Structure 1
Amino acid sequence: MSSLILITSANGNQGKRLVPKLLASGHHVRACVRTAASAEQLRALGAQQVLMGDLADPAFIAQAMKGVSSVYHIGPTLHQEERAMGFAMIDAAKAEGVGHFVFSSVLHAIASDLIQHEIKRDIEEHLLSSGLEYTILQPANYMLPSRMKAVFEEGVFRLAWALEKRQSMVDLGDVTEVVARVLSDPERHWGATYELVGPGRFNAYEIGAVASNVVGREIKVERFDVEVFVRERFGNLEPDALQHMLRMNLAIAAHYSNHDFVGNSNVLSFLLGRPATTFDEFVRKEYANFRKALSD
């Protein structure tokens, strides 16, 4: 029997990959987005219901929650109201009697010197205390196609923190495959907290070496200035929002410059029923897409 699943921030990195998978499994999807452009993109993917509004608005959250069986809450990371939104989503789900609340958290949410981790840790605690059936997913840093753009076009990989520090990463296709499985078989995953981590641990030089091997030429690595990046990219934000964005990004750069950010891929491979995607496989797939786009 099909179910109605609510997905927040539905046109982001996860949502636009997850929606087609849920639809293919026979679920009905209600997608929450902020803009008309995002709404159109979700409708093009086949989402039966698309709601446009602000997760900071309790009335919008209550409307979105009506009649859903499960919720997948992807908080708007780097938003200054992310904690309050997460709390409100959980409270609304409880009031509506939602059967399963799945939360997209972050690997090592206990690292409280990272502002966005502390926020997600607080939301995890609120969910644990809610009485709802829940699943918490804690992905590592995403293998993002956007980060490969400069690699393929300019021959450089750029990072915001110390180049010698290691990080674990995870493929978004793997993450959304797990999410679809969790939402399709909720009782099996009630009460679970899963770390979602791909194979390997890489510093910037090792990332550059993998990319060099794939593209067949040397890929340089560079560290960029976080404050300059944030002010250039998000300079149109309101002053308070810009300062929040700046504080969070500076905290990320500082933490990752002082500590490795690593995990273990066993749980992800167990959930997938296959080996998790490697970084080499990811780069090869993205390079093939890049070359195809050039030839089209």
Structure 2
Amino acid sequence: MILVTAANGNLGRLLVPKLLADGHAVRACVRSEESAGHLRALGVADVVVGDVSDPGVADRALDGVAKVFHVGPTLHPREREMGFTVVDAARAKGVRHFVFSSVLHAITTDLVQHEIKRDVEEHLLSSGLEFTILQPANYMLPLKLRPVFERDVFELSWSLDRRQSMVDLDDVTDVARLVLADPDAHAGATYELVGPGRYTAHELGEIISRVLGRPIEVREIDADTYLKAWVGDGDPREFTHQIRVLRSISARYSGHDFVGNPNVLTWLLGRPPTTFEEYVRKQHAAFTDQNRSSPG
């Protein structure tokens, strides 16, 4: 049995179908009945609903589990507590292997989210569990491309002149799939997962423009504007942790590049990782198909 936490999140939605296709028994842990419904529709019969920072929920989720894939839910204020509690429950339940999706350069502790993941890494290293730590670069996300496809504007909440490395979540979940299939081969490993290229926002905009066949605008926004786009009509006063995370990202990425090397990911995949241009083409095709099939 493999437990996947945050199973309806960015990584979980891609990883769970791959594990099911490989014939693994999968238990999904999510925080809402709505998310549980999405997972059951994918074919997951065993779903635990609850907050894994609650030891009772974690104990129930880990019961009978041999392997764990844990990722903290995006921008959640109890991400550290969730990580600690899942590690502790895994140790108590005799879990064979713990795979933790952390972040590239977790030692950069002026980034709030990185400090949290660094602390969870340390707790896992001290637990006595067999482990593999994945450290992905910035995710290539549909959320960042939708404004471009809809209104020809590419927005980032940090300096447009700083360079960043990125990674396709399909590639990250392909690595997780490999690790979970053969944990002994990856025990004790920490893998930096980085796609090819080191791009400024202007260079990313040029790639998107080439794919779309039309000029686009590249715009810098502040962290508060990005939060508003992320939470929609929610009250910003209820998202104090999230704004701290996003402001720390804006400050760090405006003062420093965030880059890595694709060699490890290439070796693990046994193929070249997905490029940003390939990702944009794939997402634009999906966006176009969706609009064609939408009523009206």
User: TM-score scaled by structure 1?
Assistant: 0.96
Which residue, 17, 31, 39 being the options, matches 2:36?
A: 39
Give CA-to-partner distance per residue, 1:100-134, whole Å, 9 cap, x none: 00001000000010011011111101111111000
Would you identify which runs of 4 or more consecutive aligned residues in structure 1 move more than 4 Å?
none
Structure 2 residue 152 is matched with structure 1 residue 155: yes
The reply on whether 1:224 has 2:234 as its aligned counterpart is: no
* Preserved contact between residue 157 and residue 226 of structure 2 (Cα < 8 Å): no
Separation in structure 2 between the aligned mates of residue 223 and residue 158 of structure 1, nearest angstrom = 6
Would you say the 8 A contact 1:143–1:172 is kept in 2?
yes
Point out the more displaced range, 80-89 or 189-198.
80-89
1:74 equivalenced with 2:71 (yes/no): yes
State the SS of the aligned residue for 2:239. Answer: helix
Determine the structure 1 residue equivalent to 2:277: 280
CA distance in 2: counterparts of 1:283 and 1:289, whole angstroms:
10
- Give the alignment's TM-score, normalised by structure 2: 0.96
Match of 1:246 in 2: 243
2:115 aligned with 1:118: yes
2:202 aligned partner, one-letter code? Y
Question: In the alignment, what sits opposite 1:190?
Answer: 187
Amino acid at match of 2:81: A
Contact 1:106 1:137 in 2 (8 A): yes
Unaligned 5+ segments in structure 1 are none
Contact 1:269 1:275 in 2 (8 A): yes
Partner of 2:172: 175
Deviation of residue 216 (structure 1)? 0.3
Q: Which residue of 1 aligns with 2:262?
A: 265
The Cα shift of 1:77 comes to 3.1
The total of aligned residue pairs comes to 292
Q: Partner residue of 1:141?
A: 138
Residue 206 of structure 1 is matched in structure 2 by: 203
- What residue in structure 1 maps to residue 88 of structure 2? 91
- The sequence identity of aligned pairs, in percent, is 59
One-letter amino acid of the structure 1 residue matched with residue 53 of structure 2: A
2:173 aligned with 1:166: no
- Please, which runs of 5 or more residues in structure 2 have no aligned partner? none
Which residue number corresponds to residue 14 of structure 1? 11
| Aligned-residue offset at 1:220 | 1.1
Distance 1:87 1:237 in 2: 29
Deviations along 1:264-284, one digit per CA (max 9) or x if unpaired, are 001001000100000010011
SS in 2 for 1:138: strand
Contact 1:143 1:279 (8 Å CA) reproduced? yes
- C-alpha contact 1:87 1:123 (8 A) present in aligned 2: yes
Question: Once the two structures are superposed, what CA deviation does each residue of 1:238-291 show, in whole Å capped at 9, x if it has no partner?
Answer: 94x522111111000000000000000010010001000000100111111122
* Post-superposition CA distance 1:39-72 (Å, at most 9, x none): 1110111112111111121100000000000000
Q: Distance in 2 between matches of 1:27 and 1:245?
A: 34
1:237 and 1:10 mapped to 2: Cα distance? 26
From 5, 20, 44, the equivalent of 1:23 is: 20
Output the CA distance in 2 between the equivalents of 1:126 and 1:47: 29
Q: Deviation at 1:96? A: 0.4
Instruction: Tell me the C-alpha RMSD between the 2 structures.
Output: 1.3
2:97 counterpart residue number: 100
Residues 233 and 281 of structure 1, relative CA distance in 2, 3 Å threshold = closer
2:107 corresponds to 1:127: no
